[in-house]
Amino acid sequence: MGYYDQQSGPQPESNPGCLDVIVITRAVFGILFWPVAALVLVIIDVAAIFYLFTVHPALALIPVSLSALAIYLVARWDQNRDRPPGFDDRPPPGA
């Protein structure tokens, strides 16, 4: 019985604290924010297209053209990302 009553000094805290939960939650939200925001914007865009089709078919061209512009801009932005070092589209000088 005496063995259980003895303390061998302060024990390190092994239970995760509130700060650990906050850090993990912030990391998960940081990773998921942009994909979830993109999905919400796509849903809003599709809803706007359907609504404007019911008002007048020509009005639906506004969100369709904005969607096409957004896809074009994302494609141009992604085209220049993650290129290997030294990669260049231009021909070498003198060619």
Residue with the two structure tokens 């700060």: 19
CB 52 within 8 A of CB 63: yes
Residue ranges covered by each domain of the chain? 16-79
Percent of the residues in the chain that have a pLDDT greater than 70, as a whole number? 71
Which pTM value belongs to this model? 0.59
Rounded to the nearest angstrom, the gap between the alpha carbon of residue 49 and the centroid of all alpha carbons in its chain is: 24
Encoded tokens for 52: 């404007």
CB 63 within 8 A of CB 45: yes
In this predicted structure, the answer to whether residue 1 has a pLDDT above a threshold of 70 is no
- The mean pLDDT of 3-17, rounded to a whole number, is 64
CB 49 within 8 A of CB 63: yes
Encoded tokens for 23: 């850090």
